[in-house]
Chains A and B, each alone.
Chain A
């Protein structure tokens, strides 16, 4: 193997990133090549120097500030949380507890979001295979809208036993609404409007004076009679004369 082939492997040798075959090739070559042996020593020294590079640690308060800013710009989505979990979601305090004592004071309002760059640079810039190319131009995603319009999801009735009750409740509510409308116009439902025995209808319970009007649900029996005693009261479309009454019980 030539010196040119060996040179890149010297970095991998120092960093223990070579295969056994490669390591052996480097050792065999360096043993007989003073120049590559010198370069290997240079690589070791360079790795040693950079290992001592001092990094200033970030404080817990720094992380709180950063998280608050990140959290404030999280995508708006439906939160899958329950009321029981809400207290756990104060992560700005909770997940930092290993680094700083958690304060028991009431939660302070979130800090202002520090802007780190001008708005025109805010597009996401990485995608699944959007790695940096050979010449180090950052790979960017196609620009996407900064705020997506809310996705409309049509309401779907729940299924199962609860769904059945939801249907029943819905029908009952509709019946009550219809009844309220009927009360407001004081109509009179005639029994002969029920065409079949399966039907359910609304009748107006009117006392003999006609002073009160309460909607009642009437089930028609198999013989065509209503399930509760009813009294016909002449309506505007009735051909009976006003005041004429007929018991249908």
Chain B
């Protein structure tokens, strides 16, 4: 399926012999990936048979990366945990539909991504709807950092700036960009998760990163409001 398509449609100018030679390090990584995939397959099979411990092991293995994905989309710990909970619940409920064509990891991270985007949209709508009621509450950008240590305040400020810049990036580009920011998710896996070609992944990351850097450096002052409104819709 998409894995094969992604590999085959990599880029037109790629020569057949252009694949990187299998070095020992790459072989080790491939072996580790294979072991993880086979362990996942075993756990999925056991979970389908009703083994509760297998569910728990799958949760234990993938919760960290799932949280990383969700946090980068949601920007808040509580929201990210909600996404993780929702994604695991949906994945386990739909486990019988997982046929093993893709790895469990890819399949599950696709669910995490979709849950993140859904929840982000629904909460954006909710925030917009309750704007009047929240007028009296301090907004994140208005939060007083006077009682925070300098490094914490600095991190808060950096995070808010990046979040604001990310909000100005079109969702499709931002999704690929955010997924790559996580350790262990390659272009190939992103292609499988998003069901696009590797070339498209590369292009989206390029434009997202370019936009992010230009906003943060002040070269791009495109308003966030329009993008946020379009997301909310």
Q: Is the C-beta of B186 less than 8 angstroms from some C-beta in chain A?
A: yes
Q: Is the CB of A8 within 8 A of B63?
A: no
A240 to B38: give the CA distance in the assembly, Å. Answer: 81
Q: Is the C-beta of A75 less than 8 angstroms from some C-beta in chain B?
A: yes
Q: Is the CB of B114 within 8 A of A134?
A: no
Q: Is the C-beta of A192 less than 8 angstroms from some C-beta in chain B?
A: no
Q: Is the CB of A70 within 8 A of B85?
A: yes
Q: Give 1 or 0 for each of B1-20: 1 = CB within 8 Å of chain A CB.
A: 11000000001011100111
Q: Is the CB of A12 within 8 A of B187?
A: yes
Q: Is the CB of B97 within 8 A of A124?
A: yes
Identify which of B67, B85, B193, B194 contacts A69 (C-beta below 8 A). B85
Given contact pairs A7-B206, A89-B53, A129-B2, A21 touches B89 in the complex (Cβ within 8 A): no
Q: Is the CB of A126 within 8 A of B92?
A: no
Q: Is the CB of B206 within 8 A of A8?
A: yes
For residues 172 through 213 of chain B, which have their beta carbon under 8 Å from a beta carbon of chain A?
172, 175, 177, 180-181, 186-187, 192-196, 198-200, 202-203, 205-206, 209-210, 212-213
Q: Give 1 or 0 for each of B111-137: 1 = CB within 8 Å of chain A CB.
A: 101110111001000000000000000
Given contact pairs A17-B186, A49-B213, A75-B92, A136 touches B13 in the complex (Cβ within 8 A): no
Q: Is the CB of A116 within 8 A of B155?
A: no
Q: Give 1 or 0 for each of B88-100: 1 = CB within 8 Å of chain A CB.
A: 1111111101111
Q: What's the minimum C-beta distance from A25 to chain B, rounded to whole angstroms?
A: 8
Q: Give 1 or 0 for each of A61-88: 1 = CB within 8 Å of chain B CB.
A: 0110111011101110111110001001
Q: Is the CB of A17 within 8 A of B202?
A: yes
A168: B residues at CB distance < 8 A: none
Number of inter-chain CB pairs below 8 Å: 219
Classify the secondary structure of B's interface with A. helix
A62 to B2: give the CA distance in the assembly, Å. Answer: 35
Q: What's the minimum C-beta distance from A53 to chain B, rounded to whole angstroms?
A: 5
A244: B residues at CB distance < 8 A: none
Residue of B nearest to A1 (CB): B13
Q: What's the minimum C-beta distance from A98 to chain B, rounded to whole angstroms?
A: 9
Residue of A nearest to B10 (CB): A19
Residue of B nearest to A59 (CB): B77
A71 to B51: give the CA distance in the assembly, Å. Answer: 12
Identify which of A15, A56, A80, A95 contacts B57 (C-beta below 8 A). A95
Q: Is the CB of A138 within 8 A of B114?
A: yes
A126: B residues at CB distance < 8 A: 90-91, 94, 107, 110-111, 114
Q: What's the minimum C-beta distance from B166 to chain A, rounded to whole angstroms?
A: 9
Per the CB 8 Å criterion, the residue count for chain B at the interface is 90
A141 to B95: give the CA distance in the assembly, Å. Answer: 12
Q: Is the C-beta of A205 less than 8 angstroms from some C-beta in chain B?
A: no
Q: What's the minimum C-beta distance from A164 to chain B, rounded to whole angstroms?
A: 28
Identify which of A21, A55, A73 contacts B68 (C-beta below 8 A). A55
Q: Is the C-beta of B28 less than 8 angstroms from some C-beta in chain A?
A: no
Given contact pairs A46-B213, A80-B50, A75 touches B93 in the complex (Cβ within 8 A): yes
Q: Is the CB of A121 within 8 A of B118?
A: yes
Q: Is the CB of B98 within 8 A of A116?
A: no
Given contact pairs A50-B162, A62-B81, A71 touches B209 in the complex (Cβ within 8 A): no
Instruction: Report B's interface with A, CB cutoff 8 A.
Output: 1-2, 11, 13-15, 18-20, 46, 49-53, 55-57, 59-60, 63, 67-68, 71-72, 76-77, 80-86, 88-95, 97-102, 107, 110-111, 113-115, 117-119, 122, 155-156, 158-159, 162, 171-172, 175, 177, 180-181, 186-187, 192-196, 198-200, 202-203, 205-206, 209-210, 212-214, 216-217
Sample 27 A-B pairs with CB under 8 A, ordered by A number: A5-B13, A7-B206, A11-B202, A11-B209, A46-B210, A46-B213, A47-B209, A49-B162, A52-B158, A54-B156, A62-B81, A69-B85, A73-B93, A75-B93, A77-B50, A79-B50, A80-B46, A91-B53, A95-B57, A124-B90, A125-B111, A126-B91, A126-B94, A128-B99, A131-B2, A131-B192, A134-B196
